[in-house]
Amino acid sequence: MKYIFFFVAIATIMTISCNKESLIGSDLLNEDNINVNFTDTLKLGYKTLYSDSTRTFATDGVAVSSLDKFTLGKIEDPVFGTTETKFYVCPNFNSIPNFRDGILDSMVLVIPLDTSVRYGDLTATHDVKMYQMSDLNFELDINSRMDTIFSNQSFDVDSPPISEKSGTFTGLDSISVFNPIGDSTVLERPQLRMRLNDMLAMSIFDTNYVETDSIFQSNIKGFMLESETVNSFIGLQNRSVSGTTSDGKIRVHYRVDEDLDGTIEDTSVYQFNLAIFKHAEMIHDFAGTPVEQAISSGSDSELYIQGKVGVYTEVDLTPILAYGDTGINYAELEFQVNEDLSGDLDLFPPNQLLLARYKNDEGNYEFVKDIQLGAFGGQLESIMDDNTGLTKMVYRMKLSAHIVDLLNQRFSSPIIEIYPNISTETPNRVVLYGTSGDEKRAKLKIVTTKP
């Protein structure tokens, strides 16, 4: 029963006219005598490897490129060790604010919450702390900036924190926010709100600080947010709508005494943006974990994958080269989740989608061709195990087109890398069977035809 799917696939596609470089080859299918064979015993090579740091922010002298989604928190995982993220940002303004003759009420950092990247214990209370950065870490003139910041970079901050806020930050409920303009209350999307301490707020409110954007940035420098809450990440969204505007803001609530007679004539709100500098520091410590042991020993019994530039799995397809003179009609890589070693999958859900890439002969990464054709798959599935009758969790990845191109020498490298689809956004992780597990082992299922 377990092989019916593959023979049904062949029976279906044998009715389709294809050229030699398609998944079947018309020169093979038009023959009267065709041998259709299935195997899943090919011994591929597998490795778990540490991911390289990734770019989180860059400018080219014209435009700014950065992440849109960020997390705050810390996870202590017995399998994958400690994972922590911190968020750095610098405020800026589009137009010079006029705080002259104003009386400051409050200054509040406001960043929308994003439920798509939260992770771990979603009910945990987070103690978020906000620090002022010690130095300005970029050129002031956007036209001459050529910055590139990577995920493993950190920046010095001053102590003590300039703001602290505790809460669960589920991101599920809208909040009511008082608007001094019109003395009204408005409903806004879920957000992290942190009031800046009065000393810093008054310095920002100083007219001399906001005379120009460069003077403002030189004095304020930027902020770092962190939460050391264990086993939980909250998600933040701070898209750059343009080079100088963003979802995140610093809202300044103030009153204006235009006649300087002590009578408040108006209330006003000014918003600084958080667009000119954004960075996510991603910290991984695998010391003493099964992941570290697998990488240091080169073991392929189990394979490990984690986002937040954690680890990925490398697959060596070299044995498939022996099929050079045989028609590869279907190829599918299957990994089964090792639920025993994965730990609490309710607390630490596995990745919902995995992707595959390879290096072309120029040394640049490309998606495997099956992804480009929309035929790859890679989603986490729960299916029935034909042998046990129990449900198992698997990833199935079609590599038919990629392998045909490899055999046709469109590129030379037989190595592919399996990694999370949103690797920089969430710390989702999964343990896969490698060469262990008998029927549970990782396998390449191929269907071949040969006259």
pLDDT digit string, tens, across residues 135-185: 877 776 666 777 889 999 999 999 999 999 999 998 777 666 666 666 666
Average pLDDT of the chain is 85
The pLDDT tens digits for 292-323 are 999 999 999 999 999 999 999 999 999 999 98
**221, 253, 285: which is the final residue of a domain?**
285
315 and 440 fall within a common domain: yes
Confidence of residue 367 (pLDDT cuts 50, 70, 90): very high
Residues 268 and 359 in one domain: no
Query: Are 109 and 248 within one domain?
Result: yes
Nearest-CA neighbor of 398 among 351, 344, 346, 329? 329
Query: And the tokens for 55?
Result: 């770019």
How far is 415 from 281, CA to CA, in rounded Å?
A: 29
Among the residue ranges 1-5, 240-244, 335-339, the one predicted with the least confidence is 1-5
* Cα–Cα separations (whole angstroms), residue 206 to 95, 202, 277: 16, 6, 22
Cβ atoms of residues 261 and 127 within 8 Å? no
Half-sphere exposure of 439 (CA within 13 A, CB side): 6
pTM for the predicted model, two decimal places? 0.86
> What is the predicted pLDDT for the residue at 390?
86
Does residue 276 or residue 311 have the better pLDDT? 311
Q: CA angle, corner 240, sides to 230 and 222, nearest 5?
A: 60
- Report in angstroms the alpha-carbon separations of 291 from 19, 193, 196, 296, 315: 44, 37, 41, 9, 17
Same domain, 318 and 246: no
**Higher model confidence: residue 123 or residue 438?**
123
pLDDT of residue 240: 80
67-105 per-position pLDDT tens digit: 999 999 999 999 999 999 999 998 888 778 888 878 899
In a domain, 409, yes or no: yes
pLDDT range class, residue 277, cuts 50, 70, 90: confident
Within a domain: residue 260? yes
Predicted pLDDT at 423: 79
Give domain status of residue 291, yes or no.
Answer: no
Q: Name the band, by pLDDT with cuts 50, 70 and 90, for residue 383.
A: very high
Q: Cβ neighbours of residue 65 under 8 Å, at least 6 residues apart?
A: 55, 57, 58, 59
Distance CA 186, CA 175 (A): 8
187 within 8 A of 147, measured Cβ to Cβ: no
Q: Which two tokens stand for residue 223?
A: 């902020």
Q: Are residues 23 and 128 in the same domain?
A: no
Domain that holds residue 415: 4-50+307-450
Q: Measured between alpha carbons, how far is 41 from 446 in angstroms, rounded to an integer?
A: 9
Taking residues 24-40, what's their average pLDDT? 59
Residue 14's pLDDT is 35
2 Cβ contact partners less than 8 Å away, ≥ 6 residues apart: 386, 387
pLDDT band at 242 (very low <50, low <70, confident <90, very high): low
Does 334 map to a domain?
A: yes
- Number of domains into which the chain is organized: 2
Establish if 245 belongs to a structural domain.
yes
Say if residue 177 is in the same domain as residue 155. yes
pLDDT at site 437: 80
For residue 295, tell me if it sits in a domain: no
Beta bridge partners of 69: 237
pLDDT at residue 241 above 50? Answer: yes
One-letter amino acid of 210: V
- Residue 276 is predicted with a pLDDT of 80
Tell which of 254, 285, 316 closes a domain: 285
If one counts every other C-beta atom within 10 angstroms of the C-beta of residue 157, the result is 21
Residues 41 and 66 in one domain: no
pLDDT for position 16: 32
Q: Are 101 and 184 in contact (CB under 8 A)?
A: no
pLDDT at 348 over 60: yes
Ramachandran category for residue 371: left, alpha or beta (phi over 0 → left; psi -120 to 50 → alpha): alpha
pLDDT (0 to 100) of residue 259: 61
390-411 pLDDT per residue, tens: 899 999 999 999 999 999 999 9
